[in-house]
Structure 1
Amino acid sequence: MTGRIDVHQHMIPEPYARRLRSHGVDAPGGRPLPAWSPAEAVEMMDRQGIATAIVSLTTPGAYLGDGADAASVARQANEYGAELAAARPGRFGFFATLTLPDVGAAIAEAGHALGGLSADGVILLANSRGVYLGDPAFDPLMGVLDEHAAIVLVHPAELPGPAVDGIPPFAADFLLDTTRAAFNLIKHDVPRRFPRIRFILAHAGGFVPYAAHRLAITIFGETGRDPDQVLADFAGFYFDTALSSSPAALPSLLAFARPGHVLYGSDWPFAPEPAVTYFNTWADDAAINHGNARELFPRLKEAPHA
C-alpha cells in the first residue's frame, strides 16, 4: 500500500517542551503535553502506514508569556524541524512556526524558513492574542507568503475568552476557532487578494463545511458579495482529516470541498494512537491518504512507500 502523507502531525522538541512548562503551559488546548521523540514518531508512522509526516508545533506556538522570546522560540523550532527533515529525508517535512501577532518578526522568520530552511510551508494559529487571520494587520505577512506561494496550515488556538468548565478547548472550541479564522479570511477576501497562498484548515475546517451556506449569507449581508462566490471561496480551502474522518463527517466534507482538496491528518501525538487508529478505519481513500498531498507538495511525488 502506498503510505499516507500526514499533513497534521506535531513535533514537541525537548527544548520547546521545557520552555512551555517554564511558562506554566502543561496542557495546551486542554490536552496534557505528551511524550514525543523522532523515534517514537517513526514507530507510530510505521504502524499506521504513514510514509511521510509534515510536522509542526501546535498551540501556543512561539508566543509565550509576553512574547519577548517569540523570535528565538520560532527560530529554534524551525531549525530543529529542518534538521529532522534532513536527517530522515522522505519521512519528515515541517511547517515553520512564525511569531504572530508580531508581524515584522513573522515576515523575517517566514523568509528564513521558506528560503534558507526549505520549509514545506508555515503553520499559523487561527487567532494570535485574539487577532484572527484575515485581519488587515496581517496583510504584510500575507503578501510575503503569497510571494513564496506558501502552503499555510491554519491550526486552532484557545479561544480569546474563558473556557467552559468541563469542556476542554480541543473538544469544541478548537473547531469554532478554525471556523472563525476561515470566516475572517473570506470576509476580508484574503484568498482572492493573495491567490498563491494555499490554506489548509485543520480538523476538516471545524464547522465550515456544515455551516458554509450560513456563513456565506452572513458575509453577503455584510459585504454584498455574491453568496455563490463566497461559497466557492470556502470550498477552495484545503482541509485535513485529523480527528475528522468519521462516517458522518467525511462524506459531508467530500461533498463540500473542491475535488483534490482533502488531505490526511493524524494529529499525533496530541491525538493518542488509539484515536489515530479509530479514525483511520474510515480514511481508506488513496487520494485523501496520499494522492492529493503529492499534488500539493510536488517534492513528495516520489515519496517512499510504506
Structure 2
Amino acid sequence: MSLATDRPRLLVTRRLPPAVEERARTLFEAELNPADTLWSAGELVERASRHRADALLICLTERLDAGTMSRLPGSLRVISTVSVGTNHIDLAAAQARGIAVGYAPDATTAATADLALLLLLSACRRAHEHQAILRSGQWGAWNAWNNLGMDPGGKVLGLVGMGRIGRAVAQRARAFGMRIAYHQRRRLSPELEDGAEFHSSLESLFRASRIVSLHTPSTPETLGQINAQSLSWLPEGAVLINTARGDQVVDDDLIAALRSGRLAAAGLDVFAGEPAFDRRYLDLPNATLLPHIGTSTVETRDRMGMDAIANLEEFFAGRPLRWPVG
C-alpha cells in the first residue's frame, strides 16, 4: 500500500497531543476521537469495522483481549500502542490473526526515571507529611529531633529490573551518592551495569538494599512479588518505590508494613485496578501517592505518539516496525 496514492485507514482511539493528531491526519485517512470518549470493546469494534480500518492507534485504556481481537475487521493489519506497557493487548491473538503490534518504549524512559527519583526523594525526606503539617497550620517552632527524614546518599538502591528505565534511574541516583544493586533474570554486560552489583535472587537484593525501586513489566512471574515475605527481607525502615505496575504489589501486605513502621515509607505512582485503588493508602502519612503520571510531560507524550505513529509509517512502507512488540 502506497502512502502517496492510497492512504491507509487509521482509527485513533483516544485524543492525543495536537502535533501527533496532525501527523496522523497527514499520513493516513485518520478517524480521531476529539471528545476523548472511552469506548467499550463493542464500540471500538464497530468503529473499526465502519472505518474499514487498516490500523489502530490505541492507548493503555483499550483492552484488546482475544474476544475483542477476533471481532476486529479483516482489513486490520497493524496495531500501535502509545505506551511502553503491552499487557492490555492479547499478543497471541494478534499473532494468530497476523496482526503486527508495535509500542513506544524509548519515549517513556527519561520522564519515568525522573518521577521515580521524585518519589524516592519525597519518601526519604517525608515530603508528604511535612506538606500536610504546613497546609493544616501545624507548623511550629524549629526543633532538632522531630519528623526527621533520611539521606539517600550512601544508601543502597536496589533496582528490581534494570532495563532502559532502571538504568536511567541508576544514572540519576548516582548523582545523589547512592550505591546501585539490581536483580533480574539475566545479568547485564559490565558496560550496562556501570558498577552496579548484580543479585541473582530477589531475596538477596532486598536484604542488601535500604531503598527498592520496581522496574519490571507485568508478567505472571512479577504478579504480587511485593508481599509479606519479600517485604520481610528488607531491613527495618526501608523505602519502596513503584513506577512499574500496580499488580506487582499485594496491597494488604504493603499497607500492613507501612502501618507498623516496618517500612519507613513508600512512593507509588501505579496501583492494581487503577484508576480504582485501595483507598486505605490515603490514611497513611508515610505513603506518597501519584495518579500514574510517569509519562505526563508535554515532551514525553508528544514523542510517545510520534513513535507509535512511526511504527505504522514503517509498516505501510513495507519495512519492519521501528519498535515491534516481542
Fold conserved between structures, TM > 0.5: no
Greater relative contact order: 1 or 2 (C-alpha under 8 angstroms, separation 6 or more)?
1
The structure having more radius of gyration, on CA atoms, is 2
Scaled to the shorter chain, the TM-score interval is 0.3 to 0.5
Given the two structures, how large is their TM-score scaled by the length of structure 2? Answer: 0.31
